[in-house]
Amino acid sequence: MRAKKRIVANLIFCVMLLSSCLISACRKSELVDDGKKIQVYYLNSEETGIIFQDYEVKADLFDTNAVIDELLVQMETMPDKLEYEAPISGVVHMLSYTLNGGLLTLNFDGRYDENDKTTEILDRAAIVRTLIQVEGVDYITFMVMGKPLTDSNGNIVGNMSADSFVYNAGNEINTYEKVELVLYFATEDGTELIPVYRSVVYNSNILMQRLAIEQLLGGPNTDLAYPTLNPQTKINSVSVRDGVCYVDFDSNFLVSNGHVKPEVAIYSLVNTICAITDTNKVQISVGGNTDSLFMETISLNTVFERNLDIIKQ
């Protein structure tokens, strides 16, 4: 009798265990199915903004390259909706891509530079916002015939993420806004900083931090203040996460600009960036590395905070 009860008990346990496994499998399946939906971005037919539609990925989500291949095909294909326009079409033709350490590099042919300025920004925004959703892709950079993509000022566009493009889905991404920036330049003797207030009309898709850095590199445009950074400096990338602005420059950044003291020059950049509301710290790198010495004096292997003591009273 006891043996019979033991057999029944074991059967019940097995049924419960099997049921538990089935429920767990179902939940896992549901999670995978939910995770397969990705928003694919397109231009609107007027080429004034970007819009998206949900797409269910058919490839194995753990096969990153297969997912990227599938999404690229979607962005190369004109959608059924007439009000949608594929971002990889017309003069935009991709030659190849590589994924290395979370950085997805897209290489386009020479016709990419023929793209209208506004349309190029929209195409780039749509491509980046689509592919940045792929697991294993942290940043995306554009190349044209193997050379880094540059903006209209000759600056390297650099690594991009979703927050590189500020916009409301369905609205114009290329609207222009007016903002007043506080830029910190040097005094005549190069020992202190003075604020210069500048009103700028800018394309709303650009990060405010990048805009401020570009203005700082452009110089003070007044006889009351003096430049602090080498104007030949190129910006590789700018991003903001959790209140920290990450800025990467080319090697020209390390070169002295006249008689300005190193700490005055470095804090002209830091204080200018930290004057923007959502930033309180700055991490600076050169060519992706933080092991350099700025003007052969200040190590970049640190996170800088605003320095109010260096501002002239």
Mean pLDDT by 10 residues, the chain (313 residues): 40 37 35 67 84 92 94 91 87 94 94 87 91 94 94 78 61 61 95 92 79 93 91 92 94 90 97 93 94 94 96 91
3-state secondary structure of 145: coil
Q: How many domains does the chain have?
A: 2
The predicted model scores a pTM of 0.53
Q: What is the pLDDT of residue 78?
A: 86
Do 153 and 204 fall within a single domain? no
Do 135 and 43 fall within a single domain? yes
- Does the residue 171 lie in any domain? no
Q: How far apart are the first and last CA of the chain?
A: 95
Do 243 and 193 fall within a single domain? yes
Q: What is the pLDDT of residue 10?
A: 41
Structure tokens at 33: 């199915």
Pick from 100, 129, 164: which residue ends a domain? 164
Do 210 and 256 fall within a single domain? yes
Pick from 141, 164, 187: which residue ends a domain? 164
Do 185 and 106 fall within a single domain? no
Q: What is the pLDDT of residue 270?
A: 98
Q: What is the pLDDT of residue 50?
A: 84
Do 214 and 145 fall within a single domain? no
Do 214 and 137 fall within a single domain? no
- Does the residue 17 lie in any domain? no
- Does the residue 16 lie in any domain? no
**C-alpha dihedral (296, 266, 240, 163), degrees to nearest 10:** -90
Q: Which domain holds residue 155?
A: 35-164
Do 115 and 219 fall within a single domain? no
3-state secondary structure of 285: strand
Q: What is the pLDDT of residue 175?
A: 55
- Does the residue 222 lie in any domain? yes
Do 190 and 139 fall within a single domain? no
Do 289 and 184 fall within a single domain? yes
Do 283 and 184 fall within a single domain? yes
- Does the residue 290 lie in any domain? yes
Q: Which of 313, 309, 224, 298 is nearest to 265 (CA)?
A: 298
- Does the residue 22 lie in any domain? no
* Alpha-carbon distances of 104 from 61, 120, 188, 235, rounded to whole Å: 16, 18, 45, 19
- Does the residue 129 lie in any domain? yes
Do 96 and 189 fall within a single domain? no
Q: What is the pLDDT of residue 153?
A: 66
Pick from 164, 194, 211: which residue ends a domain? 164
- Does the residue 199 lie in any domain? yes
Q: How many other CB atoms are found less than 10 A from the CB of residue 309?
A: 9
